């Protein structure tokens, strides 16, 4: 019996010493695989109705209407996460630690090109779907020299990643295991050249032969035919020795040793060696020629942290990773209730639509020697006195009950606006819908912020490795951008600014618009709001607004010019009257003419000032 108090496995790479730990992780993986398959069946409501009828669990006139409440809620919640990672044109935002005023926009764009490559969304979207369904998702950062940044990410499904069940911090766990699936051809290809074996890089051929001697153990498909299965499970194990993460491959049940022996985990991180002074080369007597710049010398740096990032769906007071719950756990009972109610209602409606017959007699023994289970056809003559009847149809309150359950679940899944929009009553107002939408945005933002924390860890790990390789000269960058990589900067997802803060700003500007729309700042404020809300189509909207402003200004200018011409002619008339007192009667000269002279004098002074201003 193994000694559970033994500490021999600590800092050990011996297979026999670690065998108990490996077997324990294998059992955890088997349990998680079964749990994952059960989750998928719940989510997609995989029910074979004909098989249920043949087994006698379903009557011929009964019907099961599968409901997909779990899958609907998962898909309904995915849009904020997808928007968060795709809406921004850049992946990260860099901020200089020493001088925050330094503009690092060029560095942002260069890192984005290295983090985002063809198909980069697939692993992120799969991780989003995983943590929504199961409570947490796992993203692994791997080295891939075919990518621009020589790094990539892979999503690990629930049944393919194991750790001790009471783990609260993935970086504090003693050992992790991840399942990979290989064909027989691929396994032997990983064994390398048999004439030039490299035990640190190649799989052990003897152990691989032991593995493929058994049938493929891929249990992710329903078929029991061995010809339908071609994948063999191999487990990638990570553990620490002396603080350095070691990675090894094994199969505790089929093999008796490591399939590939442990080696330090290297995902591309480099460290520059101290630069040695390089003397100049004298080619002409008395003249020193500068040496050509060379690639700096660097060495491999092995990882001290596991390259796995945990993406939690929700945070609660219980921070044990395996206790995190997703939509499958939260919605499974409601999905079963809705499915039962809908199926029962449809079955009752089907039965109520049928016409049933019985012999019109009160004698209970009158059915002796009578043929039963007869199907009546139109136009047939029945030689008996019969009465017909129908079963009662389902009560309309059943549909209200189903809607109540669905709307209540929509409230729980942060879709308050969806629940309000689907509630059928006369008290629903535009203000209520608006408030519900705002509340839904707030609730969605809280979940996206939690997603942002895990994504920040991923980007910071990737950026630190990319930076080390750029400084080591292994990744070539533009000479203008190269000095920016030498600076000390921090990284955060661009979605924090371009999505979350942007949505908050849009909400604030929308609320302030009624106050600002009638002020001089209204048109400019409206243009800024349109650019935030519709960045792809804003240009044509802003152009139309500016054209309208120009036309309005042109019309106002023409009207103002006409008014000025009219006022100019009136001023000339007043000046002319001031110089012609003979036009006034004696009474006019006493009362009106002095006022005309004053007005004419003021108009002449204004004309002189305007002429002087034009000359200047």
Summarize pLDDT for 134-157 with one digit per residue, the tens.
999 999 999 999 999 999 999 999
How many beta carbons lie within 10 A of that of residue 297, not counting itself? 13
Is pLDDT of 581 > 90? no
The pLDDT value given to residue 217: 75
| Backbone phi, psi, residue 449, to 5° | -60, -40
Q: How many other CB atoms are there within 10 angstroms of residue 471's CB atom?
A: 17
More confident residue, 391 or 442: 391
CA distance 446 to 135: 16
Between 363 and 517, the more confident residue is 517
The C-alpha torsion from 111 through 113 and 114 to 115, rounded to 10°, is 80
pLDDT at 258: 96
pLDDT per residue over 32-88, tens digit each? 999 999 999 999 987 888 888 888 888 887 888 888 889 989 998 888 888 888 888
Report field, pTM of the whole predicted structure over 0.75: no
> What was the pLDDT predicted at 384?
67
Q: What was the pLDDT predicted at 274?
A: 84
Element counts in the chain: helices (H) and strands (E)? 18, 16
Highest mean pLDDT (candidates 8-12, 144-148, 582-586) = 144-148
Higher pLDDT, residue 201 or 580: 201
Q: What percent of the chain has pLDDT over 70?
A: 82
Helix extents (H) in 426-516:
430-471, 482-485, 495, 502-516
Lowest mean pLDDT among 226-235, 317-326, 393-402, 483-492: 393-402
Q: How confident is the model at residue 319 (pLDDT cuts 50, 70, 90)?
A: confident
Tokens standing for 24?
Answer: 């324990």
What number is the average pLDDT over the span 298-321?
92
Mean pLDDT of the chain: 82
Residue 74's nearest CA partner among 458, 323, 330 is 330
Determine how many CB atoms are found less than 10 A away from the CB of residue 497: 14
Per-residue pLDDT tens over the stretch 167-197: 999 999 999 999 999 999 999 999 988 888 8
Terminal-residue alpha carbon distance, the chain: 106
- Check pLDDT > 70 for residue 542: yes
**Rounded to whole angstroms, what are the CA distances from 17 to 7, 23, 265?**
10, 11, 20
Q: What is the mean pLDDT of residues 86-111?
A: 89
Q: What are phi and psi of 240, to 5 degrees?
A: -105, 140
Q: Are 351 and 363 in contact (CB under 8 A)?
A: no
Residue-level pLDDT at 610: 75
């Amino acid at each position: 019996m193994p000694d559970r108090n033994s500490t021999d496995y600590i800092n050990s790479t011996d297979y026999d010493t670690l065998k108990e730990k490996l077997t324990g992780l294998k059992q955890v993986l088997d349990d998680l695989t079964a749990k994952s398959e059960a989750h998928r069946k719940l989510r997609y409501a995989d029910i074979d109705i004909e098989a249920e009828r043949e087994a006698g669990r379903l009557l011929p006139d009964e019907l099961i209407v599968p409901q997909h409440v779990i899958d609907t809620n998962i898909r309904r919640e995915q849009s904020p996460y997808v928007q968060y990672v795709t809406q921004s044109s850049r992946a990260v935002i860099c901020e200089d630690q020493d001088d925050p005023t330094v503009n690092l926009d060029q560095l942002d764009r260069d890192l984005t090109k290295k983090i985002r490559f063809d198909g980069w969304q697939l692993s992120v979207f799969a991780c989003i779907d995983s943590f929504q369904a199961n409570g947490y998702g796992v993203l692994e950062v791997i080295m891939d020299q075919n990518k621009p940044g020589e790094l990539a990410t892979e999503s690990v499904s629930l049944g393919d990643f194991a750790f001790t069940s009471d783990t609260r911090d993935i970086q504090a766990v003693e050992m992790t295991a991840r399942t990979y699936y290989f064909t027989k051809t691929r396994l032997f290809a990983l064994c390398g050249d048999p004439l030039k074996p490299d035990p640190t890089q190649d799989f052990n051929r003897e152990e691989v032969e032991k593995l493929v001697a058994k049938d493929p153990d891929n249990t992710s498909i329903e078929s029991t035919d061995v010809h339908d299965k071609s994948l063999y499970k191999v487990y990638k194990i990570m553990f620490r020795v002396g603080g350095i993460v070691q990675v090894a491959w094994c199969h505790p049940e089929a093999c008796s040793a490591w399939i590939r022996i442990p080696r330090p985990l290297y995902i591309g991180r480099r460290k520059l060696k101290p630069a040695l002074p390089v003397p100049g080369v004298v080619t002409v007597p008395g003249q020193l020629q500068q040496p050509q710049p060379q690639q700096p010398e660097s060495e491999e740096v092995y990882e001290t942290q596991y390259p796995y990032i945990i993406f939690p769906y929700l945070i609660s007071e219980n921070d044990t990773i395996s206790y995190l719950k997703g939509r499958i756990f939260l919605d499974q009972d409601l999905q079963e209730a809705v499915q039962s109610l809908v199926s029962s209602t449809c079955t009752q409606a089907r039965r109520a639509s049928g016409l049933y017959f019985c012999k019109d007699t009160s004698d209970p023994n009158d059915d002796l020697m009578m043929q039963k289970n007869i199907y009546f056809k139109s136009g047939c003559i029945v030689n008996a006195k019969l009465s017909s009847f129908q079963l009662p149809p389902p009560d309309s309150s059943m549909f209200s009950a189903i809607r109540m359950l669905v709307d209540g679940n929509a409230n729980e899944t942060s879709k308050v606006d969806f629940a309000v929009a689907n509630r059928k009553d006369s008290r629903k107002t535009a203000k209520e819908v608006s408030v519900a939408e705002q509340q839904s945005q707030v609730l969605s933002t809280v979940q996206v912020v939690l997603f942002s924390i895990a994504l920040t860890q991923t980007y910071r790990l990737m950026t630190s490795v990319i930076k080390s390789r750029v400084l080591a000269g292994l990744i070539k960058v533009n000479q203008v951008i190269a000095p920016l990589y030498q600076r000390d900067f921090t990284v955060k997802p661009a979605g924090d600014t371009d999505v979350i803060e942007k949505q908050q700003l849009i909400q604030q500007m929308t609320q302030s618009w009624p106050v600002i729309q009638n002020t001089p700042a209204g048109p400019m404020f409206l243009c800024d709001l349109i650019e935030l809300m519709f960045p792809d189509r804003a240009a044509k909207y802003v152009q139309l607004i500016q054209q309208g402003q120009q036309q309005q200004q042109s019309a106002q200018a023409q009207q103002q010019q006409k008014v000025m011409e009219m006022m100019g002619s009136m001023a000339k008339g007043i000046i002319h009257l001031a110089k012609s007192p003979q036009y006034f009667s004696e009474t006019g000269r006493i009362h009106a003419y002095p006022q005309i002279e004053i007005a004419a004098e003021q108009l002449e002074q204004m004309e002189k000032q305007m002429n002087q201003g034009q000359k200047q």
